[in-house]
Amino acid sequence: MKISDKILQGIKSTLETGNKVKIDLREASALTGSGNNVGGRTFFDDAFSSYRYANPFRQFSKQIYVPNMSSVQFVAKTGNAANSTNPWGYAINPNSGNPNINTSIWQLPTRVITAQLPVRTSVLDDVNGLNNELVEDLMMEFAALEGGSVAVNNDQSGSTTTSTGGIDGLRGLNSYLGEAGESSAFGTSGTAITNGIHTIATVGSTISGLNKTTLSNMRKALPGQYWSLPGTAWMMHPTAIDVLTKSLTAGNAPYFVETGTYNGGSVVNVFGWPVVCNPYLDPWISTGAISIYLANWPKFLTIADVEEMSVHAMVQTQPGFINLYAEKRMVSTVRDCFAGVRLIATA
């Protein structure tokens, strides 16, 4: 059809119906060869984004929802109600346990993650499925950001980088107290931001000493009451998994043998507990790195999400653009400090 015919047909259609009409004046060439603009127009496949590493802590940790709350308080019963000296018989001996009836509280403010995304309106029209992909990828961005903050952020210090949040971020696992050889203990009790910084039982190992014996020492440090509970698992940085895969016994035999299947492969399960690859922990390459955790995660770590999450489209913030603004709020904390142990590189 000639261009003039297309224009006349469009005018006729809008006069008859009163509706807006789009007139496509592009010409599709004949099938005369290969190459751009030869044999047809450009086809837009559905939009997609490169897959991001989500937050692996959410696989096992306890997750709760706190509707529109600005802070969350956690309460732990840390003492014994029964008389540990002689609990038998009918005599009542209040507050006679060891360490006696006691509770510990700590309170953390909800933290905000935000994102802004400008998009040309013409692109939204041209690219198939872009709206859904933008929102889905934005959620994965949030998951990656929160994973890094849950792992290593120090909410007590405004560091030179704010990529994990600093004083505006979450209380990261690695920022809790605990040097090699220390045992677990609850932090101070109260509602200040400095309360609730627990001590996590920590096992030490040299960089070259990461092997099956080291993991056995971590298993020994985890109290036996957590061993058989659902949700007990390892979290390891990929570099730590790589070292363990290559570690050898004194007879140069591998500690962990690949069986040829994923579910039975090396370092997929250790001592019966699954291994979760977690790139947000420290790489096992330097002194002070904390690269491995063993925990009953439903009791050890709690993630609290504010139920309301907002995504707003600000139309025409600039000519030809729509600006998406997204916001979510959350909190994370070590809840039962006795339910997890970690490994630190000592040299």
Running DSSP on this structure, what letter comes out for residue 83?
A: -
The confidence score (pLDDT) of residue 195 equals 96
Beta bridge partners of 232: 296
The strand pairing partners of 202, in sequence order, are 342
| Strand (E) or helix (H) holding 201 | strand 201-205
Placement of tokens 């450009």 in the chain = 42
Contact predicate 167/155, CB 8 Å = yes
3-state SS, residue 56: helix
- What letter does residue 194 receive in the DSSP assignment? T
Spatial neighbors of 31 by CB under 8 A, at least 6 apart, are 39
| Residue 19, pLDDT score | 74
Q: What does the pLDDT look like over 207-253, one tens digit per residue?
A: 989 988 999 999 999 999 999 999 999 999 999 999 998 887 767 77
pLDDT at 134: 76
Position 161 scores a pLDDT of 63
How many angstroms separate the CA atoms of 263 and 90, rounded? 53
Averages of pLDDT over runs of 10 residues in the chain (347 residues) are 62 69 60 58 57 83 89 88 76 65 90 83 67 77 91 84 87 96 95 96 94 94 96 96 83 71 70 93 94 97 87 69 82 96 95
- For residue 119, what are the β-bridge partners? 322
- Residues constituting the chain: 347
What tokens does 59 get?
A: 């696989």
Give the predicted TM-score (pTM) of the model: 0.80
Per the CB < 8 A criterion, the answer to whether 200 and 337 are in contact is yes
First-last CA distance in the chain: 78
Give CA–CA dist 81/97, Å, rounded.
6
> What six digits make up the tokens of 245?
């895969």
Taking residue 65's Cβ as centre, other Cβ atoms within 10 Å add up to 10
pLDDT at 191: 94
pLDDT in tens, 103-128: 899 999 999 998 887 777 666 666 76
Distance CA 65, CA 117 (A): 27
- What is residue 33's predicted lDDT score, i.e. its pLDDT? 58
Rounded CA-CA distance 337/104 in Å is 12
Q: What is the pLDDT of residue 142?
A: 87
Q: What pLDDT, on the 0 to 100 scale, is given for residue 233?
A: 97
C-alpha–C-alpha distance, residues 288 and 282, integer Å = 9
* Number of Cβ within a 10 Å radius of residue 342: 22
DSSP string, 224-291: GGGTTSTTEEEEE-HHHHHHHHH-B-TTS-BSS---SSSTTSTTTEETTEEEEE-TTSPPTTSTT-EE
pLDDT value at residue 308: 78
Question: By C-alpha distance, which of 105, 182, 170, 166 is closest to 333?
Answer: 170
